Structure formats: C-alpha cells, structure tokens
Structure 1
Amino acid sequence: MDTNNLLNHLVTAVLVIDRQLRPCFANAAAEQLLGISHHKLLELPLPEQYHFMGVESQILIDAVIDSQSLTVNTTSLVTQDGQNHTIDITLIPLENQQQLSLLELRQVDQQRRIHQQLNMDAQQQAAQFLVRNLAHEIKNPLGGLRGAAQLLSRELSSPDLKEFTSLIIEQADRLRSLVDRLLGPQRPTEHAQHNIHQVLQKVITLVEFTLPRNITLTRDYDPSIPDNEMDPDQMQQAVLNIVQNAIQALEMLGGDIVIKTRTQHQVTIGSKRYRLVLAVSIIDNGPGIAPELMDTLFYPMVTGREEGSGLGLSIAHNIARLHGGRVDCNSAPGQTEFTITLPLQS
C-alpha cells in the first residue's frame, strides 16, 4: 500500500518535523491548510510558513527534542494569506526516528462550516420554494392584467388614454422580469468541458469597461487547473454578480479586487467529500459586510445597500448549487472574500 497516497487522502493536515521544526514530510491537507506548495513547505522551518499559531515555537521544539507528546485544543492559526483557522494540535514522537515528531493540525472550524452550509442550503431551498409559489401567484394575475390592458388599448382612440395602457403594459413587463430574476436558474443545464480562466476573462472584459479609476483588478491564477464541466454562461453570471458587489463596495473610497483560482484537496461540499475541487475567490479590501447580514447573505432580496436588489448573491449561490458546489464568504473590515467551490472531475 502506498502510504503517501493514503496520507494525502486525509482531511487532517499531517507533517513530520525535526528539532528545528523543519518539515520533512507534508500531506496534501497540510498544503491546503497553510496555502503553501509542497516544495516550499519542505524548504523552511514551519514558523516561517504562517503568521501566527496559538502555540509558541519553543514549546514545540522542546517537545520534539524530549520526545514528548503534546495536545492543544481549539487554538488559532493565521496563515500567510491572512486566513484565520481554529485548529486542534497533536504532536507525537515517532518511534525509531530520533528527534522526529508527527504533527497533526486538525481544522475544527471545518465541521462548523459544513454544519452551517447544510443549514444554509436547507433554508435557501425553503426560501426558493416560497419564492416560486409567490412568483406563480404574481405572474398569473399579472398576465391577465397585461392582456386586459392590450385589449383596452385597441378600443381606445385617444393617444392620451393609450399612454396609460402603455404604462400598465410596461410596468407589468417590468414586474414579470423582476420575478424571473428572483427565481433565477432552477434546473441544471447542459454542461460541457470549459476552462475556468476563459470564463473569468469574459467577466473581466465586461467589468473593465466601466471599472472606476480608483479600483484595480488583479488576476492570481493557477494555470495548471484543468478544464471542468460547467455551463459557462451561468458560471460567468455567478462570478460577475460577486465581482459587481465588490466594485460597489469599493466605489466610494477605491481599493483592490483580486480574482484567484486554486485547487484544494479533500473538501466536503454538503454531505459529499471530494478528492479535488476548484476554488474561485473574489477578494476585496473594502469595508466588509455587516455582521448582522452574514447569516442571511445569500437569501433573495437581502442587501446592505439602499439601491441593491438583493438578487446577485442569491443567484450566484443557486448557480453554484446547480453545479454541485457552494459559495462561502469570509468578511472583516479590510478584507472580504467570496469563494465559489466546484468539484473537479478526476
């Protein structure tokens, strides 16, 4: 049995470290947790590969030298890319391996995230069910109202009176369009192999025409990501909705938006675990999202802006769901990150 391959299927980050805390082995989950490539992980001591960990380096060094076990529960880890994690730490000396220890970093916030996602999906589906029934009740009388206005318009000879029937028809069409947008895509469409970076380039081309001068847009792509099955138009719409939200958050004071693509290993989406997924992140350094909005952020008609419709994120979430994926949000003043996670066919 290939031990390395077995360890790379673990969700827990596993490293083997020496007395200088330099890793001599790291599995795929460790690369994903720290956001650092396998080659770089083996080059430098572990403390140089994160910003902060809630256990002092000297405590780990002493435990390795003395061949002592160490367990620390629910402590903090801040990676070099600014991601905050809550982890359990376990250090175990390796038998017959002098001054080498096995270090496990287990994310406990992942279980919380999975639970939150399952709750959010259930609530989102309930909201969508309510919206569908409401849309049905609106569209039927709306169609009758529009038809009656058309018939009345044919009987009227006065242009002034016809102006009123035209207004009724125009507003009926506007309401129908709003209801259709509120519903968003409801069923999976036909998917084919497409490159995510070509989809992202179309989004960038669209927004660059109207991008304010005080906002910069940066690409941070992993060119090794393979083509994946998707509806490119739907995926373009999902990313565009999130990018436009980021632009609106920055338009007053300006700032930076980064569109980043990465692969991640052993990720759970809903109740299913995937060996490899694609993560598309849209990151801005704006004021952040109000905490009271975070739990209902992806609900239809929920918005923090007076002029907002509250449909963009709901539609993006639904498109990701129809692709077997999810949308996550982490926000604090100075950094907001939306991540679309999609399964990659292996």
Structure 2
Amino acid sequence: MKTKIPHELQKGPLNSAPLFDALSTAVFALDRAGRITTVNSAAESILGRTRRGLKGEPAAEFIEEAGSWFPLAESAGTSSYSSMTELRRGLAEPLRVRAVLSAVAADDVRAAGLPADTACILEVSELEDALQAERSAMEASVRAANSELLRNLGHEIKNPLGGIRGAAQLLEAELVRDEDRECTSVILEEAARLQSLVDRLLAPYRRPRTSEPVNIHEVLEHVRSLIGLEFTSGLRIERDYDISAPAVVGDRGRFIQIFLNLARNAAEAMTSERARGKAEIVFVTRIARDVMLGGKRVRLALKVDVVDNGPGIPDEIRGRIFFPLVTGRAEGSGLGLSIVRAFVEEAGGSIDVESRPGKTDFTVMLPLGLQKEAGKNDRPDRAAAPE
C-alpha cells in the first residue's frame, strides 16, 4: 500500500510547485534508490544548500539510517518509516529531528508536479517542534472534551433552573409575610446568578463566527478606551505597536472580547497598584516569523502581548489558568480566560502566559497571510501611531 503525500499537496496540481515550496516542513522528494529528485524551500533553508546542488545526492548523506530504508521499502513493500535522528548539515551543528519516510503513488507524484522518478517523500521536522505539535494536539483534544462536557452540563442546568425560578416566583406571589418573601428573594437572586454563569459558559458556542480582515491595532485602541472609562484613576495604558503589521483574519467582536478580558483581568488584579497610581498595562505588537501554531509551523504571525505590573498569577493556579472555573479572585467566575483561549484557538492562534510578581505577560499569537482565505485581497489599513 502506498502512502499519500502531505495533505497540503493534495489541494490540486502544483505546476511549478508553489505549494510544495510553501510548506513549512522540510520535504525531500527521493527516487527508489534514495537520491534526491527535488526539495522545497524549507529543506534548502535547513541544509543551507540549493535544490539544484542537492539534486542527485543520497539522503543517507544527511540522515545516516536512510541508507537502510530504501532496500527495505522496495523489497518488503514498507510504505512508511519514522525515526528520531540527527540531520547532518555539513559544517553546521547536527540537528535533532523527526524524519518520516513515505512511499508515494505515481498518480500523486503527477498531481503534485514532482519529478517523474520520485518514489518517496521524506519529511523532516525539528524534534522540539514535533514534540510540541504532539503536546498541542493532546491538549486540544482534552480541551475539546472539556468544552463538550461543560456545554452539555450548561444545558442540563438551564432546564431545571427555569422550573426553580418559575416556582419561586409563584410562591412569592402567594406569600404575605416579609420574612417569607426574603427567602424566595434569595432563591430568585441565586437562580439569576446561576443563570448568568451558565450564559457565560455557553457564550462561546452561541454567536456564529464571522471571518474578515481585522486591524488588531484598532481593536486594541477600542479596548484601551473601554478600560480607560471603566478604571478612571491610577491606571496608565501604554502602547508599543508595530504599525507595519497587516490585518489578521477572524471575528472582530471576538478579538475585542479576547483583549478586553485580558486587560480587564490585569486592571482588576492591580487593586493596590491602582490605589497608589502605579498600575500600568502595555499593549505590544510585533511580527513573528517561523512559529508553531496549532501544531503547525507558520511563517508569519502577529504577536500581541498584554503586559501588566501587577502581583502576578498565584503559583498554585498558573498551570491551570486557562481551564474553566479556575480563578485567582474570590469574586471571579473562572470563565473569562477559558473563553479567551477558545476564541484565540478558533482564529488559528495560541495564547501563553509568563508571570512573576511585578510582571505578567499574556502573549497571543495570530497567523498572518490568511486574507485570501477570507476573500479579501485589499491592502489592510494601518493603525494610527501611538500617542
């Protein structure tokens, strides 16, 4: 049985192989003897050599085990081989990688526009990236299961909750004594609080998502205005923008929710700093290159940091801060950051946090270069320069 080529190459004929070159993973096309027929740009970059210079070279020159793969693949019909190994790069330091060899069907070779004598594809990814991709996939699976559980739980709570509220209202209408009415008022108030909690729990799954180019600097300026109106004294919000950053593709309303939640959490955590007039939040944007998002390497991303000078996240919850119902504040619901993470990942991005007393930095990474997928090819607007 033959193994198909990477799924990114199955989207249509490549002609001059622009998609092959666009892959962020280093890919070597090999003939039956294990000699290179062509490579993509990522492979050229990782080896520091051109594809013309690499053509005809044996793969075993770069990966020692490769010399034993090809007789096995040809005689025993093996369609795939995977190894944690070293990639030799001439005078440069060897690189720890995961190498995956897959046989390729002739029809796929023609469809991909690869040289006709190509029989195998060798995909090479840095070991750290491969392990991170596995971790990300596992975490995403766990979060998806948790989200499904919470969504079902929320619906199950809402049904009897409506009955409780209705019964309490009917009972209150029949009561005469004020002390009895106080009891029903408690029932109604707590039911309303629980209803609000359930509504927030289900919020990420209700509103349909839109996808359009969004200027993140405009979003951050809007959030800055809202936070300034909510916290009128003792808080300063600074901006350090890379105004050359293009638009990202996603839902503008959800981007506002992401950064509003992060900024509001920071402001609420800095009670003592605001009382002394020393609280500060900084919005920072930068272009990031060659980063891992959702288990895949992305060539360009927008990095947005929300930094505050507050007390930091308590050690006991730092590793669980994005889980639902985890909060460091007595009055908090623990849903804000789980919703933030859901919205960020929905946009194809990632969110991480580093925290210590005096500095907490939430980093949001959002992929760039997706305007074509949103059906928008116009040049994005640039944000106004910081004041």
Q: TM-score, normalised by structure 1?
A: 0.63
* CA distance in 2: counterparts of 1:150 and 1:343, whole angstroms: 50
Quick one: percent identity of the two aligned structures?
A: 42
Change (3 A) 1:11 1:242: farther
* CA distance in 1: counterparts of 2:280 and 2:132, whole angstroms: 27
* Contact persistence 2:24–2:298 (CA under 8 A): no
Q: 1:96-115, aligned counterparts within 5 Å?
A: 113-115=132-134
* CA distance in 2: counterparts of 1:332 and 1:115, whole angstroms: 28
Residue number in structure 2 paired with 1:31:
none
* CA distance in 1: counterparts of 2:25 and 2:309, whole angstroms: 30
SS in 2 for 1:304: coil
Say which of 244, 247, 252 aligns to 1:232: 252
Residue number in structure 1 paired with 2:54:
none
The aligned length equals 259
| Structure 1 residues not aligned, in runs of 5+ | 1-5, 13-26, 29-67, 75-105
Residue number in structure 2 paired with 1:342:
366
Say which of 137, 147, 159 aligns to 1:128: 147
SS in 2 for 1:122: helix
Say which of 264, 283, 287 aligns to 1:263: 287
Say which of 162, 166, 184 aligns to 1:147: 166
* Contact persistence 1:184–1:318 (CA under 8 A): no
* CA distance in 1: counterparts of 2:361 and 2:132, whole angstroms: 15
Are residue 251 (structure 1) and residue 271 (structure 2) matched? Answer: yes
Amino acid at match of 1:241: N
* Contact persistence 1:214–1:251 (CA under 8 A): no
Q: CA RMSD in A?
A: 3.4
Residue number in structure 1 paired with 2:323:
299
| Structure 2 residues not aligned, in runs of 5+ | 1-19, 27-40, 43-89, 97-124, 372-387
Say which of 300, 310, 320 aligns to 1:276: 300
* Contact persistence 1:256–1:285 (CA under 8 A): yes
Are residue 311 (structure 1) and residue 335 (structure 2) matched? Answer: yes
Cα deviation, residue 72, structure 1: 9.1
SS in 1 for 2:361: strand
Q: TM-score, normalised by structure 2?
A: 0.57
Cα deviation, residue 225, structure 1: 2.1
Cα deviation, residue 307, structure 1: 3.0
* CA distance in 2: counterparts of 1:199 and 1:279, whole angstroms: 14
Cα deviation, residue 218, structure 1: 0.7
Larger radius of gyration: 2
Query: 1:146-187 CA distances to partner (integer Å, 9 max, x unpaired)?
Result: 122233344456666555444433332221111111233026
